[in-house]
């Protein structure tokens, strides 16, 4: 009884000063159309994953050294932090690493659910747009965090990622230079990525998540796509207690999965980034695999790097303003469902192909590379292609073609008859070249962008 009196006094004290009862009522008395449902848990799961990223990120930042000469050592030190025979540092880093992938998946699934349920329609258009922004922030956070360990995988993966940005028309080269802080990756690059990852993005996340929640509370949940409004109103219940329990179990499931992956598959750490390691096979993070595969399939590259992603982005932004029909059931929107399945299937297929196609880069021979350089110049290739800022712009920029990962055979076929790879290609056929010359030319092209090999402009 005494405890009850004390609790009530505490409640009165807090209520008098911060109106705690009104706050709890606002948080817990949210009406749920159709009653509590497991389908409603995905938003809370995303929110929990984001909080986990914030907490583990702060823990890692206490020990991280954000310069090229300290970054790798600090991450290696974190990996070996132990407490009571428990690898605490490696566990926290694993939670953060796998949490990033989980964030990408959960945000994607949540957005997909909203789309299939038609919950982007009036009056929730603005909330949908904020969700698109949060998806972009999630991908940016995953990309900027990838470089921070400063190992071989992070270094060369970021080389590939920033090369993709450089292919954007007009502003691409400038963006690439600004992001890198110069022509290559170095101290400024790491400083830029660390600042964006730990200061800019968390601030934007807080801003847009708060905005998302405010809009959500103003317009309310869309509710199931089945059932008439009177029926859903009759089945309505409040957020507390059943939905709170379901959300808590969903968040627990997310934590268990992330923790399990962190323990069984710790992120690991490759060798210290070595810009001179021309034999390393650069690959992007898995969530960019499908774009990476498009790079190898589509010419000009801009169609793969910017064309399809831009098209998807434009469609997502315009969707709630174009699709004004009140019908929300996916069973009565077959075109939307089929389009979604096609896009998802294409992304998964391209990602699988990319993972299966990652091979060792072409082994280079110094003599063949030098002979290929001479042959490249004598054949007039610089008249069509740009290399290290010099040359023509009829064909694609080859300055970092050696990092794309084409095999020597693929390049030799490209030289002899490029139409076998790209229909209606304007590239002339160099079928008069002898096999040893094709080998030397392929060796030279494979060296472009790989540190330590000759600059063709000198």
In this prediction the pTM is 0.73
Whether 390 and 299 share a structural domain: no
List all residues 6 or more positions away from 126 whose beta carbon is below 8 Å from its beta carbon: 215
What are the C-alpha distances in Å from 368 to residues 147, 207, 371, 433, 435? Answer: 33, 55, 5, 15, 12
What CATH number corresponds to the domain at position 399? 1.10.760.10
**Helix or strand run (H / E) with residue 251:** helix 244-264
- How many structural domains is the chain composed of? 3
Judge whether 291 lies within some domain: yes
Whether 148 and 11 share a structural domain: no
> Quick one: pLDDT band at residue 457, thresholds 50, 70, 90?
very low
Region 307-313: mean pLDDT is 74
Residue 23's pLDDT is 78
Region 90-96: mean pLDDT is 94
Judge whether 168 lies within some domain: yes
Q: Is the N-terminal amide bond of 296 cis, ω within 30° of 0?
A: no
The residue among 419, 438, 296 whose CA lies nearest residue 376 is: 438
In whole angstroms, give the CA distance from residue 97 to residue 57.
10
> Quick one: pLDDT band at residue 243, thresholds 50, 70, 90?
confident
List all residues 6 or more positions away from 38 whose beta carbon is below 8 Å from its beta carbon: 246, 250
Whether 323 and 423 share a structural domain: no
Whether 73 and 213 share a structural domain: yes
Whether 105 and 164 share a structural domain: yes
Give the pLDDT confidence of 158-191 residue by residue, as tens digits.
887 888 777 777 788 888 888 898 878 889 999 9
Residue 231's pLDDT is 52
Whether 302 and 428 share a structural domain: no
Least confident span in 72-76, 154-158, 402-406 = 402-406
Task: Read off the tokens for 93.
Answer: 């880093």
The sign of the CA dihedral 53, 196, 350, 451 is negative
**Helix or strand run (H / E) with residue 440:** helix 435-447
Q: Crossing angle of helices 88-116/71-79, nearest 10°?
A: 100
Judge whether 431 lies within some domain: yes
Residue 310's pLDDT is 76
Residue 359's pLDDT is 56
Whether 205 and 334 share a structural domain: yes
Q: 287: which DSSP letter?
A: G
What CATH number corresponds to the domain at position 155? 1.20.810.10
Residue 232's pLDDT is 54
Least confident span in 68-72, 165-169, 300-304, 452-456 = 452-456
Domain hosting 177: range is: 33-357
In whole angstroms, give the CA distance from residue 163 to residue 397.
11
Whether 202 and 94 share a structural domain: yes
The residue among 92, 46, 205 whose CA lies nearest residue 141 is: 205
Residue 4's pLDDT is 43
Question: HSE of 447 in the Cβ direction (CA atoms, 13 Å)?
Answer: 22
Whether 202 and 300 share a structural domain: yes
Q: 332: which DSSP letter?
A: G
In whole angstroms, give the CA distance from residue 158 to residue 144.
9
Whether 346 and 371 share a structural domain: no
Judge whether 380 lies within some domain: yes
**Cβ pair 32, 40 in contact under 8 A:** yes
Judge whether 201 lies within some domain: yes
Task: Read off the tokens for 296.
Answer: 């190898």
The residue among 308, 310, 302, 312 whose CA lies nearest residue 173 is: 302
Last residue of a domain, one of 357, 382, 415: 357
Residue 380's pLDDT is 87
**Cβ pair 155, 273 in contact under 8 A:** yes
Give the pLDDT confidence of 392-422 residue by residue, as tens digits.
888 887 877 777 667 787 788 888 888 877 7
Give the pLDDT confidence of 369-400 residue by residue, as tens digits.
888 899 998 888 888 888 877 888 888 878 77
Helix (H, G, I), strand (E, B) or coil at 29: coil
In whole angstroms, give the CA distance from residue 373 to residue 86.
54
Q: What share of the chain has pLDDT > 90, as a percent?
A: 27
> 32 has which bridge partners?
237
Judge whether 452 lies within some domain: no
Give the pLDDT confidence of 15-62 residue by residue, as tens digits.
888 888 887 877 777 877 777 788 889 999 999 999 999 999 999 999
Whether 102 and 197 share a structural domain: yes
Residue 97's pLDDT is 94
Judge whether 51 lies within some domain: yes
Judge whether 74 lies within some domain: yes
Whether 57 and 26 share a structural domain: no
Q: Is the pLDDT of residue 360 over 60?
A: no
């Amino acid at each position: 009884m005494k405890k009850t009196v004390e609790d009530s006094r505490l409640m009165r004290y807090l209520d008098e000063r911060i109106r705690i009862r009104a706050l709890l009522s606002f948080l817990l008395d949210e009406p749920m159309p159709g009653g509590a449902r497991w389908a409603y848990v995905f938003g809370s799961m995303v929110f929990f994953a984001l909080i986990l990223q914030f907490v583990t990120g702060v823990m890692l930042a206490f020990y991280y050294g954000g310069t090229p000469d300290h970054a790798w050592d600090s991450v290696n030190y974190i990996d070996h932090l132990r407490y009571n025979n428990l690898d605490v540092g490696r566990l926290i880093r694993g939670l953060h690493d796998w949490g990033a992938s989980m964030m990408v998946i959960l945000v994607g699934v949540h957005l997909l659910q909203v789309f299939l349920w038609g919950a982007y329609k009036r009056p929730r258009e603005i909330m949908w747009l904020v969700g698109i922004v949060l998806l972009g922030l999630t991908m940016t956070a995953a990309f900027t965090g990838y470089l921070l360990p400063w190992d071989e995988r992070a270094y060369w993966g970021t080389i590939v990622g920033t090369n993709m940005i450089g292919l954007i028309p007009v502003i691409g080269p400038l963006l690439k230079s600004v992001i890198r802080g110069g022509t290559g990756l170095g101290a400024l690059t790491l400083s830029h990525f660390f600042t964006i990852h730990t200061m800019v993005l968390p601030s934007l996340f807080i801003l847009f998540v708060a905005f998302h929640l405010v809009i959500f509370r103003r317009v309310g949940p869309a509710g199931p796509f089945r059932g008439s409004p009177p029926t859903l109103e009759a089945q309505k219940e409040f957020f507390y207690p059943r939905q709170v329990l379901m959300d808590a179990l969903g968040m627990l499931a997310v934590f268990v999965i992330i923790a399990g992956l962190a323990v069984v598959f710790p992120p690991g750490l490759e060798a210290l980034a070595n810009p001179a390691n021309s034999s390393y096979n650069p690959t992007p993070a898995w969530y960019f695999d499908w774009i990476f595969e498009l790079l190898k399939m589509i010419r000009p590259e801009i169609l793969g790097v910017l064309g399809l992603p831009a098209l998807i982005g434009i469609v997502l932004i315009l969707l709630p303003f174009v699709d004004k029909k009140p019908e929300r059931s996916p069973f009565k929107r077959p075109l939307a469902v089929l389009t979604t399945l096609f896009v998802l299937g294409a992304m998964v297929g391209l990602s699988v192909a990319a993972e299966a196609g990652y091979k060792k880069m072409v082994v280079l021979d110094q003599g063949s590379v030098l002979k290929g350089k001479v042959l490249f110049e004598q054949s007039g290739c610089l008249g069509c292609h740009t290399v290290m800022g010099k040359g023509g712009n009829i064909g694609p920029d080859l300055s970092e073609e050696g990092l794309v990962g084409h095999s020597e055979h693929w390049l030799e076929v490209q030289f002899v008859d490029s139409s076998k790879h790209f229909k209606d290609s304007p590239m002339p056929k160099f079928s008069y070249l002898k096999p040893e010359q094709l080998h030397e030319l392929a060796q030279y092209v494979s060296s472009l962008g790989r540190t330590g090999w000759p600059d063709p402009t000198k």
